[in-house]
């Protein structure tokens, strides 16, 4: 993979999207500082300059038969959820290498205990029923010590007491991505490994159904093969399991 380190940029995802046509498959845009880091649901991603990993990986999907260095084989848009699994698993494996146990809060926040250590923002472009490209944006809190704006954030430094080289951490994360990339086209493997890491599985907790604006106690049963989160509603016994797409349910932590 071809890493381009920037001192400062508004957002590595925005930069990758602006320059997408000219950026080769496998380009990684990493920044020491993001002035307008973007999170899911239009949120801002806050990261202390020079202390954390903030980067975006450009993936391009080609017609069958292109050399692997220039594009991945075609991937159906219906299978795009596998990119979530891949990115979450990559970060989880990197953290496990550092001795930090973690879970993945659906769809793709990585948690250490009850604190968030990584956020992922994936932005896809489609070509009909297939993916044309994907910008996989990953922010991992590495050396930051304090999170004044964020009540439930943590970093590797907070958890292990050690300082890390951002360059080395990025290399390690990318090695995990490379190892997992072939599984994107394999179906079940990423799904099974992701499911095993699911935050809140088999635990009673409060959820907010955003479709009906109702809060209830439920238990996550798992993730459906299409990526929907499956929750048993304990306040409505006898009702069918509830299935949610992104932005249809909130965790009350």
Distance (Å, rounded) from C-alpha 132 to C-alpha 212? 35
- C-alpha closest to that of 153 among 43, 24, 6, 232: 43
Write down the least CB distance from residue 244 to ligand BTN, Å. Answer: 17
With contacts defined by CB under 6 A, name the span among 36-44, 71-79, 162-170, 245-253 that binds ligand BTN. 36-44
Strand order in the sheet with 53-60: 2-9, 27-34, 53-60, 130-140, 115-127, 109-112, 103-105
Binds ligand BTN by CB under 6 A, chosen from 25, 27, 51, 56: 56
Binds ligand BTN by CB under 6 A, chosen from 45, 85, 94, 191: 45
Write down the least CB distance from residue 239 to ligand BTN, Å. Answer: 30
Distance (Å, rounded) from C-alpha 230 to C-alpha 227? 9
Distance (Å, rounded) from C-alpha 68 to C-alpha 62? 9
Looking at the Cβ atoms of 170 and 180, the one nearer to ligand BTN is: 170
Looking at the Cβ atoms of 104 and 121, the one nearer to ligand BTN is: 121
Q: Between residue 82 and residue 141, which ones bind ligand BTN under the rule CB under 6 A?
A: 109, 119-121, 137-139
Q: Are 170 and 3 in contact (CB under 8 A)?
A: yes
Write down the least CB distance from residue 41 to ligand BTN, Å. Answer: 7
Token representation of residue 33: 């500082």
| Contact set with ligand BTN (CB under 6 A) | 11-13, 34, 37-40, 43, 45, 54-56, 109, 119-121, 137-139
């Amino acid at each position: 993979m071809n890493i381009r380190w920037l001192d400062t940029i508004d957002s590595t995802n925005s930069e990758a999207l602006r320059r997408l046509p000219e950026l080769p498959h496998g380009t990684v845009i990493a920044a020491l500082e993001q002035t307008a880091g973007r999170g899911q649901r239009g949120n801002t991603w806050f990261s202390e300059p020079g202390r954390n990993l903030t980067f975006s990986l450009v993936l391009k999907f080609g017609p069958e038969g292109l050399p692997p260095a220039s594009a991945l084989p075609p991937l159906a848009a219906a299978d795009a959820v596998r990119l979530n699994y891949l990115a979450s698993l990559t970060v989880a494996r990197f953290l496990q290498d550092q001795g930090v146990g973690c879970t993945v809060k659906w769809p793709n926040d990585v948690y250490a205990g009850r604190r968030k250590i990584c956020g992922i923002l994936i932005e896809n472009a489609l070509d009909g029923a297939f993916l044309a490209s994907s910008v996989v944006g990953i922010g991992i809190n590495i050396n930051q010590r304090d999170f004044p704006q964020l009540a439930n954030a943590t970093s590797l430094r907070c958890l292990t007491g050690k300082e890390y080289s951002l360059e080395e951490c990025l290399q390690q994360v990318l090695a995990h991505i490379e190892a997992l990339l072939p599984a994107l086209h394999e179906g079940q493997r990423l799904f099974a490994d992701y499911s095993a890491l699911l935050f809140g599985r088999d635990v009673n907790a409060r959820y907010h159904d955003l479709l009906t604006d109702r809060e209830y106690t439920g238990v996550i049963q798992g993730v459906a093969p299409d990526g929907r989160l499956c929750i048993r509603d304990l306040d409505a016994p006898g009702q069918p399991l509830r299935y949610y797409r992104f932005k249809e349910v909130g965790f009350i932590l």
